[in-house]
Amino acid sequence: MASFEKRGKKWRAIVSVTDNRGTRKKVTKTFDTKKEANIWSTEQESKLNNGFDITSKNTLFSDYFSNWVETYKRPVIRESTYIRYKSWIHTVEVVFKTITLDELSNYKIQQIINDYGKTHTLKATQGFLVAVRGSLKDALLDGNLEKDVFSRVKATSSHEVIRSENYLSAAEFIRLQKYLYDNVDNSTENQYILMSLIALETGARLGEIQAIRTNDIIGDGKLTINESYSANSHQYTLPKTKSSIRQITISSKLEQAIQIYISKNSIDDLLFIPQYRANISRRLETILKHAKVHQIRFHGLRHSHVSYLLYKGIDISYISKRVGHSNTTITLEVYSHLLKEKEQAQDALVLDVLSLKNNSSPQ
**236 and 201 fall within a common domain:** yes
Same domain? 26 vs 125:
no
Residue 149 located in a structural domain: no
Position 331 pLDDT exceeds 90: no
Q: Which residues pair with 31 in a beta bridge?
A: 11
State the greatest distance between any 2 C-alpha atoms of the chain, in Å, as a whole number. Answer: 107
Q: Are 310 and 335 in contact (CB under 8 A)?
A: yes
* pLDDT value, residue 102: 86
Does 20 have pLDDT greater than 70? no
Tell me: do 245 and 313 sit in the same domain. yes
Q: Indicate whether 225 and 91 sit together in one domain.
A: no
Based on the fold, state whether residues 313 and 227 are members of the same structural domain. yes
Q: Which residue type, as a one-letter code, is found at position 34?
A: K
Using the predicted structure, report yes or no on whether residue 296 has a pLDDT greater than 90.
yes
Q: Are residues 214 and 188 in the same domain?
A: yes
d(CA 10, CA 103): 26
Q: How confident is the model at residue 47 (pLDDT cuts 50, 70, 90)?
A: low
On the question of pLDDT at 133 being above 60, the answer is: yes
Residue 258's closest CA among 288, 216, 301?
A: 216
DSSP-derived pairing of the beta strands 222-225 and 246-249: antiparallel
Output 104 or 26, whichever has higher pLDDT. 104
Question: Cα separation of 5 and 13, whole Å?
Answer: 7
Half-sphere exposure of residue 242: CA atoms within 13 angstroms, side-chain side:
2
**Collapsed DSSP state (helix, strand, coil) of residue 230:** strand
User: 40: pLDDT confidence band, cut at 50, 70 and 90?
Assistant: low
Mean pLDDT score across all residues of the chain: 85
Alpha-carbon distance 287 to 298, whole Å?
Answer: 11
- pLDDT above 60: residue 135: yes
pLDDT (mean) for 284-313: 93
pLDDT in tens, 58-70: 789 999 999 999 9
Q: β-pairing, 222-225 with 217-219?
A: antiparallel
One-letter amino acid for residue 132 of the chain = V
Q: Let me know whether 195 and 290 are in one domain.
A: yes
Please name the amino acid found at residue 129.
L
Query: Could you give the strand order of the β-sheet that contains 2-7, starting from the edge strand earlier in sequence?
Result: 2-7, 10-18, 24-31
Total structural domains within the chain: 3
CATH of the domain at 136: 1.10.150.130
Whether the per-residue pLDDT at 4 is higher than 80: the answer is no
Residue 155 domain-assigned (yes or no): no
48 and 106 both lie in a single domain? no
The DSSP code for 160 is: -
Does any domain span residue 320?
yes
Q: Domain check: are 205 and 101 in the same one?
A: no
Q: Model's pTM, two decimal places?
A: 0.63
Q: Which of 303, 214, 224 is CA-nearest to residue 259? A: 214
Arithmetic mean of pLDDT, 165-181: 92
Mean pLDDT of 180-188: 86
Report residue 21's pLDDT band, with 50, 70 and 90 as the boundaries. Answer: low
Q: Which domain holds residue 290?
A: 170-347
Question: Is the domain of 124 the same as that of 255?
Answer: no
- Judge whether residue 163 has pLDDT over 80: no
Q: Are residues 178 and 306 in the same domain?
A: yes
Claim to verify: residue 116 and residue 196 sit in the same structural domain: no
Is 177:309 a contact under the CB 8 Å cutoff? no
What ranges make up the beta strands (E) of the chain?
2-7, 10-18, 24-31, 217-219, 222-225, 228-230, 235-237, 246-249
